[in-house]
Amino acid sequence: MNLNNVSRCEYCARIIYKNVSGTYKLCSLKCKNYFKKNKSNDELEEFLLQNISKGWNEINVIFSTVNNIDKFEFISAIGRMVHFDKTLNTKSKNEISMRSFISKVKK
Ligand SMILES: [Zn+2]
């Protein structure tokens, strides 16, 4: 399986096993609800790009520095930045979790 060509959820960026939406690619009803509320979160993406220090950062640790952000929204934004925007890298090829390490993609 070529991991670069698989379908990913447009909200959480995880691999889709079953699409629950006709119009978009969404993996679950949870993602469908979040996607309706906030398709993308530019402020959060901006925050991440500005606040991730050099080298590898554990997502848990970055999350502990933000206030009032839903954990699922947070990790989904990171997923989209890794898989769609390619502005972040992950250390492991596994799906992103709170214990994954991320770094900024060098321009
Ligand atoms: Zn999803």
pLDDT digits (tens, 9 = 90+) for 18-37: 999 989 999 999 999 999 98
Whole-prediction pTM value? 0.90
Q: Does residue 1 surpass a pLDDT of 50?
A: no
Distance in Å, CA 43 to ligand 1 centroid: 20
- In this prediction, what percent of the chain has a pLDDT beyond 70? 95
Distance in Å, CA 93 to ligand 1 centroid: 17
| Torsion of the alpha carbons at 58, 62, 63 and 68, rounded to the nearest 10 | -170
In this prediction, residue 6 carries a pLDDT of 75
Q: Does residue 74 surpass a pLDDT of 50?
A: yes
Distance in Å, CA 36 to ligand 1 centroid: 12
Distance in Å, CA 31 to ligand 1 centroid: 5
Residues around ion ligand 1, judged by CB within 5 A, are 9, 11-12, 27, 31
Neighbours of 34 (CB within 10 A): 19
In this prediction, residue 40 carries a pLDDT of 77
Tokens linked to 46: 């901006």
Tell whether the torsion through CA atoms of 87, 92, 94 and 100 is positive or negative: negative
Tokens linked to 84: 């769609």
Long-range contacts of 88-91 (CB under 8 A, 24+ apart): 88/48, 88/52, 91/56
More confidently predicted of 32 and 107: 32
